[in-house]
Structures are given as C-alpha cells and as structure tokens.
Amino acid sequence: MNVYAALAHPLREHILRILDAERLLPYKDLMKRLGLKKTGLFNYHLKKLEGFIEKRNGLYQLTAAGRNAIRLMITKEQLMVGETVDFQEPDSRGAIYRIGVIICTCGEELRQAINISDLVEKVTDLPYVERTRVFHHLCLLENVEKLKHWCERHFLNNLVIAACSPRLHKEMFATIREQLDVQIEFANIREHCARVHRKNPERATEKALLLIRASAAMLCHRIPIPKRTLPIRKSVAIIGGGLAGLEAAKVFAKTNHSVILLEKEPCLGGIARRWERIYGALDCGPCMIAEDVSSVILSGNTRILTNTELTNISGTIGNYEITATQLPRYVDLNKCTMCGVCAEICPHSCPDEYEYNLIQRKHIHLPCPAAYPNKPVINKRDIDFCLTCRKCEKACPSNAINLDQESEIKKFSVGAIILATGAEVCNPRTIIPLDSIVYNPTKDIISSYEFERILAPDGPTGGQILRQINGKPARSIIVLQCLNSINVCSGYCCNVAQKYIDVVENIAPEVSINILYDKSHIPPDRTTFIPEDNRIHFCETIKLIHRGRKRIIQTDVGSFPADLIVLNMGMIPGDQQLALRTITNFSLNSRGFLDTRSLSSGIWACGSVTRPETFEELVTESRNTALEVLLLLGRDSLPAGDMPILIAQEKCGLCNLCVELCPYNAISITADTIHIDTLKCEGCGACIAICPTGALSAAPIQDEVQAAINALSMGTTSPRILIFCCESCGYPAADNAGIRRLEYDPSAMVLRLPCTGCVDANFIITALNLGFDGVMVVGCHETACRFLDGIKKARIRIEALTHFYGEELQKRVRILNVSAVEGHVFATQVNQFAAELTELIGS
C-alpha cells in the first residue's frame, strides 16, 4: 500500500477528496462526480486505491489510511504556500455524520419573523449538514413516510428538526424516531425564536441558525445507544409462607406461572396461624391458613419449601437468581406416616416456642396442631442432645428419621420476587413499664400473644381463659394499650383490643374485660379508630394495687379487678428485616418498616413486612401485589429504560458519589462494579454531572452540551445569555412565553437539559469563558422539582462557584424558579437580566 503510488494520478487524488467531502457515496454518484463515462477506467483507479477506500453496504468511504492520505495532501498544500501546519485529528470514534436539517415553517407563520431562504442557505454550509428541506406542516403524519424516504435516499443518519417545541408533537416525533433509524435533535425555532422576536427578523434569523448549529453539534457528539430488552422468566419466588405469602400464592395458583414459596419455620402459617380469630375476618386463623394452603397445593404449580431461609438475591428484573438454605428437618417427609411413636419415646422436653413457652414440648415434635406439612420436626438447636440419645431414630417403624441430615443450599431462577416475610412479635420485656406492671407470665401479667394462645381452642388451655398462678378460670381481664417501646403508633393494637372484646364476649360472657389507655402514652400519630364502648377507658393514672388476694387496677376513671393483665404488644420489623436488608437494599418508612417504593424493580413486598395491617388490608395488598407481578410476567420482555446511562467500568473509581446523589436509589455498587437499575432510573442525569471521572455518560449530556455551548457562543449580538432550562419546568416556561408571544431579548439562547441537577459547574465556567456575558439556570420551584432536588443541586453548585470567584460571577449567573405556565416570569426575568448585563458591560 504505497501512498505515493496511490496519489500519483490526479483522478485518484480527486476520488479521495470527493469521499472526504461527502463521506459516503454510492458507486454511480462517485463516477458522476468524477465526470467519467467508462466504468473500466473508473474500476482501474478504484482498484489502485485499495486500502485507502472501502465499500461498505454499497457505499464507498475512506479508510483510516485514506483519511491519513487526505491529511498528507492537505499538509503538502499548506506547506507549499508557506502556512504553518495545523494537524486535525479525525473523529476518535471514526463515526460518520450525515446530517439532514428539516425546517418547518408552520404554515408560513415562521416566515414573518425568519428569513427562511437565507436560513436554508446558511444551514447548508454548516459542517456535516448534507441536505436541508423545508416543510410547511411537518406535523402531518403522512410526512413520516416522506422523511423516511428522504433519509434513505441521501444516506442521512442524523436529523435536526427545526420546528415548534419538541413537547408539542411528542407522538409524531416518537413515530419518526421509531420508524427512521436516525438520531434526532430538535431546534425550537418557533416558540423560542420566531414568536418571541417578531420585531427583529434579522436577529431572529441569526438565532435560528445558531439553534440549528447547536443541535447539529450535539448530534456530532452523540453516542448511539443500542435498544436493549430484558427477557422475563415466567416464575416468581414468594419469601415467607404467612398469610400474605399464601394470599399471593393463591392468585398465582390460578395461573400457569410456577411459584416457589420459601418459609423459614418448619410449617406454613406465620403469626396468624396462632390466632383464634383474625381481626376483620370472621374465620379463625388456622382454618384460613388451612384453606389457603390447600388451594395452593391443589394448583400443582407451587413448590413449597419449609425450614428454608433466603440467603442471597442477585440479578435484575425478569432474571433473578435466589439462593436459599434449607435447614435439616431430620425427618423424611415422604417416609413418615405420622404414627407418633417418636414423640412418645422422646425422653427430653423443653419450652414450646410455638405456644410462647406456656407449655413444654418434646424435642421431636409436631410444629403445631394441624400444621402443613403435618410431620414431626427436630429443632436444629436441640440436635446436639438428640445425637447422644437417638432413641427416636431406632424406634421409628418406617425409618423416616435421620439425625445426620445436613443443611442444603438451593438455587432458583425466577422472574420476580415477593417479600412477605412479615413482622416480629415485640418482646414484652422491652416495653415502657406502666406503674409496677412488669411482664411476668407466672404472675398472670402476660403479653397479648400469650393471650391469643390462651383464647385459641387448639392452645395450651383448650380455649379456656385460665390463670397461670392457680390454673383456675380468670373472672376479669385488663388489657393495657399503647405500650410499644418506640413512641410511634403500631397502628394495630386498638384493633386487637376490639377483637379481644368480641372473642371474650363469645367464648366466656361471664368474664369482664376492660381496655385501658394511658392518655400520656397515646402516640401523636395514631390513625386507628377507637369506638365508643363502656369497656374502653382513657385514664390519666394507672396503678396496680393488691387488696388481699384480689388484684385491682386503680385509675382516675374507676377501679377494675385484674385477674389477668394483658400487655397489648405491637409488631416490630425485627431482626429478620435486618437480615433482609443485607440481602436486598431498601429504605425504611417512618414506622421503621420496609418502604415498598425503595425496592429494586422486580422485587415487591406485601403483608406485615411493610406495616402492621388488618386482615382486609393484608389481603388487598397481597392480591394487588400478585396482580402487579402477573402484569410483569405477562410480558415476554421489557425495554431497558428510556435514557439508559452508559457506564465505563474501567473509569469508575468507586467513590460512591453517584450512589449518594441519585434521588431514586437506582445506582448501586456491588463487587467493584457499578450498576444502574434502568427501570428505577428516571433519567435526570444528575449522576453524570457529579461523576468526577466521566465513568457515567448519557445521550444529552457532557460532550454534547459542551459542543452546544460552543456552537451557541458563536452569536454576534450582545449581551449574550445562555439559559439552561430543565425539561419539566424551565423549557415549558420558555415555550409558554412563546405561545403568549412575549418578546424578550433575542440574544438569550435556551439549551434544554433533562433536569437542572445535571448543570455541571463546568458548563457555567465554560460558557463564561467562551464569551457568554451571563448564564441563567431556569428550573422548577424548589418544592416542586420533577426530580426531587435537581434545582437545589444546581443552586448549591452556583453558590459554591460564587464563593470561589466572588461577586463578579454573582452578577453573571442567575438562577430562576418557574413553573411551566409562568412564561411571563421567564420573559421579564430574561429582559431584566439582559438589561443588567448591558449596563455591566457598558461600565
């Protein structure tokens, strides 16, 4: 490949020059441009240029060597005339830009303010602009086909649409974007130019040219982002086999999606399984659980794993990989025949945690009456003793017991995850004590959970309300309210108290029950409703006194006998929430429970894990969650976000700034790689402005904005003002000024950004250095920012710059809060700023 031989013939030199100017040309056009008639000669020269030009998709273009040859020729010429040689690097990405500019005159309206023919002439001279076309009404749908044809014929891969506001005909532009495989940028020459500068056509034309030039410059720095889709697995994992998990599983039981149900305990049912009656439902807890379990099992698409704890979640929406550890049960579920020999022979007993330690159980035991799976279990805590005994193993007639069983690690791939891990029972020893009333089950001061078991027909007392001291029936019950250790309303104890009134009335009408609230303990955020009832009392003081054998609670509203004192406990998020937070990241709501909005997309939560709920709330929430999951599973794939942010992992320094900044918690760093949840990302771009190393980049930011600032700075009028507008308030406000035809200074150039949060301080400095007299940042009102706090970030950056550069900068940089309809504020503020700047430059 000899460059001198290749350039020896003037025709070959000519070919290279034409290709350099046109970038892409088909065979015929190239031949025509050369003025050749015979293909033979043309082919000969093309062959000689092998290595310098290449044919791709039927189009001739320069190779890297060809571009170097061009540089050689240019340098030679420059040297010959005695110029100093200025080397220009080719585009680092080797991309080819063929930009088409479309100017819509909006039914001749724009001609009143802009000299269109003059504009077309000047636009065609812009770098990389190949073709310009004028439409009268671009917004007609039939034009899409015309545009497509036009782009294909002229091999245009970028399009600048100079027309009305891009917000006006969103659907139309979306169709263009979809049908034409081109990058599009807009120049708003109607609202931001023609309509607001009608009195000054000359400057309006110049401004229109600048806006188009900026859009073209932006396109030249755009990195096309490939469209991605995420496939979705048609399965779901439900973590937690309590009421909420089962309700959700019941919905899936009616579909064909496979479900994996993980339960930490040896049997399904959770806390609700222990309750005689569930508030808001007429049924008793165990019956409801049994009903749910049977419908889930009958469906046949649910795999239930008990004694199994979630240990890890990885992946993204549609493709989650979950890891779980199944603890040994020591009993083979298939072999066991439930003969009961093992429990009879077991020599050792310990307190039964299912009954809140009210009675004793054997080491090998049924987890609870009528459990699912209804097979015995040995707790892993007790296994050390059992390994020395092994009596049950030998006695089992069907050889179902294996005391040497090990934990098993299981892995599943699912499309979505539902967290229904529930809450935990508050420890009665941690509550604020009332007077001398301290939790002590042996003295008949019990917690509400123990009381639930006492009321339950399958409980230790068989449903009779017995005292723990002497085993005799209790005649009077006192329920104490608002005892949560944290001073927030549990949101559910009031309901529980009303349930107790109902239940006691039903099963033991002779027993008196009184509900006592200590007024000073009632939390300010209480939301539950307390009905008028002569058994519910609000007291100033509560005292426990003993009168002989009798125990009496004395208050300012009367004295009540108290055979049994029930401390009504709330629910707390508990340790399991901590464990869950180490597996998947989420934030907590004001009551310390899981905030569902903060979960990664593809992970849902329902039931008491989100807040303590009544039965109706829980069922509604669980079903809604299941339906939401079904909506996801109904699709085959998901588009991966609107404005995906490109990540250059090799540049990331893992400084965590973006993680901290992101208002939507969409960014996470795991195992030294940065990851953006594209479905949570709203595309405000604030992370790109903050990224110190440039590891994050996206379509309209950084290089593009710098290029646009550069292009806009080429104006000749003064004072030159650059206005950064956010897409949700600032830009619409500028549009609004256009719609209302409010005149403002034509030297103000509007640059659209997704959010003011991505106004990098460097943009402001660059703009000022490039000759702008003033910079304005126009965004939402601080309390109404579309991206939560974007405008606040911009304000902090400008304040910091003011501190660094002093008063002079303060006069040059302005921040403005507007809403989308405040066009008049926008116009007057711009005019005022322009006037101030004129005075400043003049002095």
Partner 1 sequence: MKKIGFFQLNSCSGCMFAVLSSTIFLDLLKSADIRLFRLISDVQTEDQFDVVFIEGGVTRNEEAALLRRLWTEGAKIITLGSCAVLGGIMSHSPNMHIDPVNKFVDPYATLPGCPPPQQLLGNLLMSAIDGIEFKLPEKNVCSECPFAQDQTYDVEITSLNALHPPKSCFLSEGILCLGPITRAGCGARCIKGATPCDGCLGALDRNLPSALANLFSVLKVSDSIREYAAIAFRYQKPELKFK
Q: Which residues contact partner 1 (rule: CB under 8 A)?
A: 650-657, 660-661, 669, 689-690, 692-694, 760-762, 764-765, 768-769, 771, 773, 792-794, 796-801, 803-806, 808-809, 812, 841
To the nearest whole angstrom, how small is the minimum distance from the Cβ of residue 688 to partner 1? 10
Q: How would you classify the pairing of strands 360-362 and 53-56?
A: unpaired
The residues facing 638 across adjacent strands are 230
Sheet holding 308-316, edge to edge: 308-316, 319-326, 408-414
Nearer to partner 1, 786 or 797 (CB): 797
Q: Are 61 and 54 in contact (CB under 8 A)?
A: yes
To the nearest whole angstrom, how small is the minimum distance from the Cβ of residue 805 to partner 1? 6
To the nearest whole angstrom, how small is the minimum distance from the Cβ of residue 748 to partner 1? 16
How far apart are the C-alpha atoms of 517 and 541, rounded to whole Å? Answer: 10
How far apart are the C-alpha atoms of 610 and 639, rounded to whole Å? Answer: 29
Nearer to partner 1, 540 or 782 (CB): 782
Nearer to partner 1, 101 or 801 (CB): 801
Nearer to partner 1, 64 or 796 (CB): 796
The count of C-alpha atoms lying within 13 angstroms of the C-alpha of 448, restricted to the half-sphere facing its C-beta, is 27
The residues facing 380 across adjacent strands are none
Q: How would you classify the pairing of strands 542-547 and 536-539?
A: unpaired
Nearer to partner 1, 511 or 659 (CB): 659
Task: State how far the alpha carbon of 615 is from the alpha carbons of 492, 625, 748, in Å.
Answer: 11, 15, 60
To the nearest whole angstrom, how small is the minimum distance from the Cβ of residue 718 to partner 1? 8
Nearer to partner 1, 12 or 812 (CB): 812
To the nearest whole angstrom, how small is the minimum distance from the Cβ of residue 536 to partner 1? 43
How far apart are the C-alpha atoms of 363 and 391, rounded to whole Å? Answer: 11
The residues facing 323 across adjacent strands are 312, 411
Tokens coding 741 = 């035809």
The count of C-alpha atoms lying within 13 angstroms of the C-alpha of 366, restricted to the half-sphere facing its C-beta, is 15
Tokens coding 285 = 């807890």
To the nearest whole angstrom, how small is the minimum distance from the Cβ of residue 700 to partner 1? 17
To the nearest whole angstrom, how small is the minimum distance from the Cβ of residue 806 to partner 1? 8
To the nearest whole angstrom, how small is the minimum distance from the Cβ of residue 690 to partner 1? 5
Nearer to partner 1, 212 or 686 (CB): 686
Nearer to partner 1, 253 or 684 (CB): 684
> What is the three-class DSSP state of 46?
helix
Which residues does 232 contact at the CB level (< 8 Å), separation at least 6? 317, 318, 319, 415, 632, 633, 635, 636, 637, 638
The residues facing 315 across adjacent strands are 320
Tokens coding 711 = 């292009």
To the nearest whole angstrom, how small is the minimum distance from the Cβ of residue 693 to partner 1? 5
CA dihedral 819, 825, 826, 830 (to 10 degrees): -150
To the nearest whole angstrom, how small is the minimum distance from the Cβ of residue 671 to partner 1? 12
Q: Are 200 and 207 in contact (CB under 8 A)?
A: no
DSSP string, 825-840: HHHHHHHHHHHHHHHH
To the nearest whole angstrom, how small is the minimum distance from the Cβ of residue 323 to partner 1? 22
Nearer to partner 1, 633 or 816 (CB): 816
To the nearest whole angstrom, how small is the minimum distance from the Cβ of residue 812 to partner 1? 7
Our CA angle for 463, 467, 473, nearest 5°, is: 65
How far apart are the C-alpha atoms of 93 and 645, rounded to whole Å? Answer: 19
To the nearest whole angstrom, how small is the minimum distance from the Cβ of residue 336 to partner 1? 47
Nearer to partner 1, 689 or 709 (CB): 689
DSSP string, 606-652: -GGGTS---HHHHHHHHHHHHHHHHHHHTSSEEE--SSPPEE-GGG-
Nearest Cα to Cα of residue 29 among 41, 42, 11, 10: 42
Helix (H) or strand (E) holding 546: strand 542-547
Nearer to partner 1, 129 or 691 (CB): 691
Nearer to partner 1, 30 or 689 (CB): 689
Nearer to partner 1, 702 or 829 (CB): 702
The residues facing 104 across adjacent strands are 135
Quick count: other Cβ atoms within 10 Å of Cβ 125?
9
